[in-house]
Structure 1
Amino acid sequence: MAEDRDLIEKYGQPMPYDRNFRGPEWRNRSCTDVPCLLIFILFLGGWGFIAQYAVRNGDLNKLVVPTDSFNRKCGIDSSVLDKKYLFFFDLGKCIDPVVPLTGCPTPQVCVESCPTQTFIWDTMKNSLSFAELKERMICLTDADKNNLKSVNDIQRAIDEQRCARWYVRSAQFLNRCMWEFSPKLCEFIPLSLLPRNRRASDGSRNASTLIADTVDLPAGLIGDNANLAEMKLEALALTAMTEAPIRRQQQLVEEPAIQCRRRTEQAETIKQKVRQADTRLAKLVGNMVAHFYNGTHDAQQLGEEIVEDIMNSWYVVLMALMCTLVASLILIALMRWFAAPILWISIFGVLIGLGFGVYYSVKQYRFWRDTATVPNHSLNLEAAVKNILQEANTWLYLSIFLSISFVVILLLVIVLRSRISIAIALTKEGSKAVSSIISTVFFPIFSWVLFILAVAYAIGVGLYLGSIGEPAFRMIRQLDSNSQTGVSNENCVCTGPAVEYKVGGRCDPQIFEQNCYNTDFFARSPCRRTTCSFAEIEHPPFVTWSIVYNVFGFFWLTFFIAAFSDMVLALTFATWYWTFKKRDVPFFTLGRAFRQTIFYHLGTLAFGALILAVCRMIRVALEYLDSKLKKYDNTVTRAILCCMKCFFWLLETFLRFLNRNAYIMCAIHGKNFCVSARDAFNLIMRNFLRVIAVDKVTDFLFFLSKVLLTGAAGVGTYYFVVHSPHLIQLHYNAVPVTLVVIAAFLMTTVFFGVYSMAVDTLFLCFLEDCERNDGSPEKPFYMSKQLMRILGKRNKFQRQSSNI
């Protein structure tokens, strides 16, 4: 054909026939890209040296210094030099999934020491003297506490969240005040989970006595506020178990903390309830639901019910996932018979669906074109959607889009029908390969373990490197919403050694605290709204370059691990294809491929991973440059950076595709990376339409298979939990179903990722087979009979049935 002649003319002749070629035989191989492997080994050695240097000179405590609500580093900034512990007004609010992004929403203040006793304002305000109340108050600033002149002032400060309403005895952990509970309180954790008749009345102790004992308060202080105090203690109790891991760590570095040991009375009942709902997960889910649910109390209850459902249904979820695993393996095995009907039914289903969509869109367009309507002026999402759906042009544009999609897909199916048949046949071949070497399905677990170790190593080294250096401080004015400028207008004057200090300039906290004062009053007073605050850790040049080295090493190593997985699978499936009699495929094919990759081709993997790492590093540098140039708001610069980021994203995507096929060619021929990449690119371009058809058809087929297995797992789980109330009792049937659907989709994605690699490898082997062989006894085809029938080819001798 003229098309084939043009491609050959542009991308070269097919590979010459090699009489000794027998596929990926280890005896014909030699080590590839050895210099790159040596460079990679030296690089890892340098990375190890940086790691030991970072651990020896770094101090992670610098990175965990707490910061209060005024952005002051406790024990470091000028105004809090003697206050190195952070106190939370309500620590329970910090157990929220969005806290890492938004910060803990409760007020936080630096204190000299963590509270050593429990305080509840609502129960003590009528029992303690004003002096005692003021002494126990913890406020945002010293000025707030000094301005407390009466009980009403305290009440007002508490209502305005300038002072804490309540707190319990705490112990410091990582310079943060964590709640500490007495054994009596631990015995009754959580109160909300105990039987109501026990909570309402106890044979030997009433509620007031119980609450007083658990917080070490006289019973008389409870009085008429027993319900309120009990509610507070329930909130505290729900957090007791959440801090258990922290308390266990605290024992190693601080004074021994009181452990929660329940007594034998009702121990099993409480233990069972605690396992169901009183966990960190319950608090986390409750706070997460609170962002989308009306009422914090209802959200917390819903979160506890969800966690209880998870604890009750874990074995159902596990059974469903085991069934999904078996079903995935069965479907992969059956794909050799049902790939064609599934695909063609899906294609015709898509065309029918598009045709119906065109008909419905045209019908709706005609209706709304002839119908006069008034837009809904309500400011909500539902009204906006209704307005869009009642617009005639919406349906017109939709009908045009669906019509174009229908025509394009129909023409592609007609033009590429023969190549779609090839894709189906290769899918069947992939099913045979995966089914005969079933261990390949579980091989990605090994890659995951290596990837997790690499991530942990890079993060650890990065943290230690980030802590090396001297802290830099700058004189700043704190934000003030009452000021016209938005910042404090405090007249802070510096004298003596600090006479040259100015806002925005460098400073030393000790010198600032001793030589800077506020002149707004007749008497000098320390500057409170102007501080010498921590700005950053200034790294030495060696540490800065070591951080860049660590980031690049992370990219190189992770890409190397992914390449190693691809190469092992490619060698495995290439060995299967180029074995003329499939019954002669070695039993330990995967193990032999693993060994071949380690002995011969680690340099090739390092070369390919290096190219991707360089490209990714350039993209990271562009992102960093973009963040630095945003403040200049230059349209031309933004446009150039946007084009560059888009270009390098496309380049990395192309390189990923090229590397994957280069690894396959290396697995087949055992040549170095550059030669393999060139051969793979030329081979693909000579068969461009086949590549497009096989790639898209297999992707579509695998997507349908994942949806089928995931949907079946979800429906099966729902049917079981609905029709088996005597075996499992749940608040919400959707909880286990959702878990199963998510886990099943991830599981099938892994399985079909291996399947996809098998099809890609067999496809390149098939193209090599077509160009190298002609079906003669000297050069027989290795492809299946179905592929030969599609191409109109055959071997000139009777093949054994075992080769099918």
Structure 2
Amino acid sequence: MCAGDCCCCDQPDSSEKARLTNSSENRGCTDIPVLLIFILFWAGMIYIAVFSVSHGDAFRLVYGYDSFGNTCDEDNADKAMENVSLTGLNHKGKPYVFFLDIRKPLETTMLCVTKCPDIEIDNINGVQEFAIKEGSNLCRYDVPIDKITDDANKDKCPQVFPVWKSDDLLFRCVPSKLTVLGDKLAVLFEFLNKSDTFQKALSDLYASWKEMILLCLLALVFAIIMVLLIRFMASIIVYVILGVAIVASLAGTGFLWWTYADIVSDLNDDIMHKIPLLDIEVRAKTAFLVYSIIASVLTVILLLIILVMRKRVGLVVALFYEAGDCLSAVPLLLVQPLWTFLLLMAFFFYWVIILAYLSTSEIREYNNVTGHIDYTEHETVSYFWWYHLIGLIWTSEFIIACQQLVVSGTVATWYFSRNRNDLSCTICKSMKMMIFYHLGSVAFGAFVITLVKLPRMILMYIHKKLKSSAGSNKCAEYCLKCCICCLCCLEKCLKFLNQNAYTVVAINGTSFCTSARKAFFTIISNALRVAAINSVGDFILFLGKIGVTAATGAVGIVWFKTKSELHFYAVPVLLVCVFAYFVAHCFLSVYEMVIDALLLCFVADVDDNDGTDGRPYYASDKLRKYIEETSTELNLLTRKDKTEETEPAQI
């Protein structure tokens, strides 16, 4: 039976340990009120979508519209306004917007035309000749081609000559020579027209698409090799990274002090020879002294951290091996980011389309002065904007959280299984568990991130506006930056806590608040272990991503340099590198999530078992060996300061 477990102060019950062996035993629906709120929220999102599609026209943003409320390249019969001429016209085959006076684009009449003028027109007769020859009338729709030169239609046709030769830019007729509109735009267009940079870049992509596909496949191979290296050679890689970090920090600090000493020596020589000192030399001495001190402090901190964590590095190595075993048993975990990415792209596509319709959900009004149709914002649309933005953040975080809970549930099911060879379709079971029991907890965690991210985005917008305004208050800018920085740090911390909370949800089946509380106390009680994982482990995985990207880019550079027909081979190399990093991130980010989930499973295993015949560990032989070697120290750390009310290290 589903229970609306949403309390933040629930006490552990006696059946928690039993849940480790059976993920469905005594498991109920969690955070039902939040799930109901999320469903109601999406009902509002659907209402906004229906309202936007019924009142808006997204094609106005693409093809533009004329001054009479007609969308170009579209039949506007349903948009006709009573007692208003030139509305509701069929503009199929007229995709371009032409401005009667391009120098006043916001005030002049806009028309939908078949073709932008491809020649310079010097007089009204030229307008008529162009209309006859090209079939594109540059006058108002109520002016027939044979009446263009009549004096009665002078105000309905271009009055300022010449009418410049134009190119279509986003379906708008923009003069090829933009000197009259500003030097910067003219320089930009001149550069694009002369160099054809974009055309050459596109031709390079077309000429090298086969090689790019092969390089993407090579990136996939490199990513798999990196996963195998981390799995089978974790101990070597971890200690190599630590050694490189120590040597690099010591060498960098020594070089800075050597540079500072060299500058001081040169200044002393100048003083001895009574050579006047330059101000820049004195500043360089001070700067290198500051750099050297900072580097020394950071190096000492790094060495102390490594010294303190030296016994925890073994846990990193053991969990790397354990994560490799888990991924070998459930290889479909590696493609979870792909499904998440596809879901996010589908949602973003939907969100952008509705946003386009929402932005054009305006009220049309006839302007008696200009004779044009003006658009005014609907009174409720401003509220819909905020609602739609919150929907973007909350739903995006919900989709990401679903992946985290599925991965955590899969890892927990695999870890807490006595006979792992008999497991089948572990991911399916984890997805079923999430859908039937814990969608409310996922929605709750995503909402917590939304509560932090939305204010940060608002402050960033205010800061941008304040910075661009003249005479801005520097003190206010500084305060806004501090608030943005604090919210960003809080968001990072909450995301890390949420990910661990989802693991506890998967293990124990408790609500989000209860799971987050337990995850928090577990992290605090095992701070050194968590620090070892998140400093050494994550750093190694990041270097793995960079390694895959660099290797793929190096092969691409060597290969593309042999193709003499390419103009800018850096463009296909850059795209290949972006894809390579994405592929490596898909593989290694799952590795990172698996390791974080295994850490909590490992702590729960140590707390609830002691390795005896009656209470054997769930860990594999490799991880069990590490547990046996450090069991006394680990138990002291995880069982420290227990009270009857709380057990900080117990899950």
TM-score by length of 2: 0.73
**What is the aligned partner in structure 2 of residue 772 from structure 1?**
608
Q: CA deviation at 1:618?
A: 3.3
Q: CA deviation at 1:413?
A: 1.0
Mean CA deviation greater in 751-760 or 32-41: 32-41
Alpha-carbon distance in 1 for matches of 2:340, 2:457: 24
**What is the aligned partner in structure 2 of residue 317 from structure 1?**
212
1:7-42 superposed Cα distances (whole Å, 9 cap, x missing partner): xxxx99999796634345224422222222222222
Q: 1:12–1:360: structure 2 CA closer, same or farther, 3 Å change rule?
A: farther
**What is the aligned partner in structure 2 of residue 561 from structure 1?**
399
Larger radius of gyration: 1
Output aligned runs, 1:226-245, within 5 Å: none
Preserved CA contact (<8 Å) 2:322 2:623: no
Which amino acid counterpart does residue 560 of structure 1 have in structure 2?
A: F
Q: CA deviation at 1:455?
A: 1.9
Q: CA deviation at 1:136?
A: 7.5
Q: 1:732–1:390: structure 2 CA closer, same or farther, 3 Å change rule?
A: farther
Q: 1:580–1:107: structure 2 CA closer, same or farther, 3 Å change rule?
A: same
Which amino acid counterpart does residue 395 of structure 2 have in structure 1?
A: L
Preserved CA contact (<8 Å) 1:440 1:569: yes
Alpha-carbon distance in 1 for matches of 2:249, 2:442: 44
Q: Which of 687, 690, 699 is 2:529 aligned to? A: 690
Q: Which of 231, 235, 256 is 1:336 aligned to? A: 231
Q: 1:88–1:367: structure 2 CA closer, same or farther, 3 Å change rule?
A: farther
Output aligned runs, 1:639-678, within 5 Å: 641-678=480-517
Output aligned runs, 1:188-337, within 5 Å: 299-300=195-196, 303-337=198-232
Q: Which of 6, 28, 35 is 1:30 aligned to? A: 28
Output aligned runs, 1:370-381, within 5 Å: 370-371=265-266
Q: Which of 31, 51, 54 is 1:53 aligned to? A: 51
**What is the aligned partner in structure 2 of residue 718 from structure 1?**
557
Equivalent residue of 1:790, what SS? Answer: helix
1:680 aligns with 2:511: no
**What is the aligned partner in structure 1 of residue 430 from structure 2?**
593
Preserved CA contact (<8 Å) 1:74 1:86: no
Q: CA deviation at 1:327?
A: 2.7
Alpha-carbon distance in 2 for matches of 1:311, 1:64: 26
Preserved CA contact (<8 Å) 1:313 1:736: yes
**What is the aligned partner in structure 2 of residue 353 from structure 1?**
248
Mean CA deviation greater in 732-741 or 755-764: 732-741
Structure 1: tracts of 5 or more residues without a match: 1-10, 68-72, 92-103, 142-160, 180-231, 236-286, 374-386, 473-507, 515-531, 796-804
**What is the aligned partner in structure 2 of residue 417 from structure 1?**
310
Equivalent residue of 2:18, what SS? Answer: coil
Q: 1:355–1:105: structure 2 CA closer, same or farther, 3 Å change rule?
A: farther
1:246-282 superposed Cα distances (whole Å, 9 cap, x missing partner): xxxxxxxxxxxxxxxxxxxxxxxxxxxxxxxxxxxxx
**What is the aligned partner in structure 2 of residue 120 from structure 1?**
119
Identity %: 29
1:577 aligns with 2:435: no
Q: CA deviation at 1:368?
A: 3.3
1:532-555 superposed Cα distances (whole Å, 9 cap, x missing partner): 996x733224x4333332222222
**What is the aligned partner in structure 1 of residue 5 from structure 2?**
none
Q: 1:588–1:57: structure 2 CA closer, same or farther, 3 Å change rule?
A: same
Q: 1:87–1:359: structure 2 CA closer, same or farther, 3 Å change rule?
A: same
Preserved CA contact (<8 Å) 1:66 1:74: no
Output aligned runs, 1:681-760, within 5 Å: 681-721=520-560, 730-760=566-596
Q: CA deviation at 1:623?
A: 4.9
**What is the aligned partner in structure 2 of residue 87 from structure 1?**
98
Q: CA deviation at 1:372?
A: 6.7
Preserved CA contact (<8 Å) 1:467 1:537: no
Preserved CA contact (<8 Å) 2:504 2:518: yes
Alpha-carbon distance in 1 for matches of 2:226, 2:505: 30
Alpha-carbon distance in 1 for matches of 2:292, 2:547: 29
**What is the aligned partner in structure 1 of residue 387 from structure 2?**
549
Q: 1:462–1:401: structure 2 CA closer, same or farther, 3 Å change rule?
A: same
**What is the aligned partner in structure 2 of residue 495 from structure 1?**
none
TM-score by length of 1: 0.60
Alpha-carbon distance in 1 for matches of 2:105, 2:362: 32
Preserved CA contact (<8 Å) 1:663 1:676: yes
Equivalent residue of 1:604, what SS? Answer: helix
Preserved CA contact (<8 Å) 1:86 1:111: yes
Equivalent residue of 1:29, what SS? Answer: coil
**What is the aligned partner in structure 2 of residue 278 from structure 1?**
none
Alpha-carbon distance in 2 for matches of 1:344, 1:312: 44
**What is the aligned partner in structure 2 of residue 602 from structure 1?**
439
Which amino acid counterpart does residue 416 of structure 1 have in structure 2?
A: M
Output aligned runs, 1:42-81, within 5 Å: 42-60=40-58, 74-75=67-68
Alpha-carbon distance in 1 for matches of 2:11, 2:607: 9
**What is the aligned partner in structure 2 of residue 445 from structure 1?**
338
Q: What is the number of equivalent residue pairs in this alignment?
A: 559
Q: 1:349–1:438: structure 2 CA closer, same or farther, 3 Å change rule?
A: same
Q: Which of 367, 377, 381 is 1:509 aligned to? A: 367
**What is the aligned partner in structure 2 of residue 428 from structure 1?**
321
Q: 1:636–1:405: structure 2 CA closer, same or farther, 3 Å change rule?
A: closer
Q: CA deviation at 1:676?
A: 0.9
Which amino acid counterpart does residue 166 of structure 1 have in structure 2?
A: K
Alpha-carbon distance in 2 for matches of 1:321, 1:791: 41
Structure 2: tracts of 5 or more residues without a match: 1-8, 70-84, 90-95, 132-137, 140-159, 178-183, 269-279, 632-651
Q: CA deviation at 1:594?
A: 1.4
1:702-726 superposed Cα distances (whole Å, 9 cap, x missing partner): 011112222222223334445x66x
Q: CA deviation at 1:440?
A: 1.0
Alpha-carbon distance in 2 for matches of 1:111, 1:54: 25
Alpha-carbon distance in 2 for matches of 1:539, 1:607: 32
Which amino acid counterpart does residue 449 of structure 2 have in structure 1?
A: L
**What is the aligned partner in structure 1 of residue 297 from structure 2?**
404
Q: 1:162–1:597: structure 2 CA closer, same or farther, 3 Å change rule?
A: farther
Supply the RMSD in Å over aligned alpha carbons: 4.6
Q: 1:163–1:452: structure 2 CA closer, same or farther, 3 Å change rule?
A: same
Equivalent residue of 1:544, what SS? Answer: helix
Q: Which of 454, 461, 465 is 1:617 aligned to? A: 454
Alpha-carbon distance in 2 for matches of 1:451, 1:593: 20
Alpha-carbon distance in 2 for matches of 1:61, 1:331: 46
Output aligned runs, 1:97-112, within 5 Å: 110-112=109-111
Alpha-carbon distance in 1 for matches of 2:11, 2:585: 38
Which amino acid counterpart does residue 46 of structure 2 have in structure 1?
A: G
Alpha-carbon distance in 2 for matches of 1:789, 1:434: 20
**What is the aligned partner in structure 1 of residue 352 from structure 2?**
459
Preserved CA contact (<8 Å) 1:23 1:574: no
Preserved CA contact (<8 Å) 1:770 1:781: yes
Q: CA deviation at 1:742?
A: 2.1
Which amino acid counterpart does residue 583 of structure 2 have in structure 1?
A: M
Alpha-carbon distance in 1 for matches of 2:282, 2:191: 33
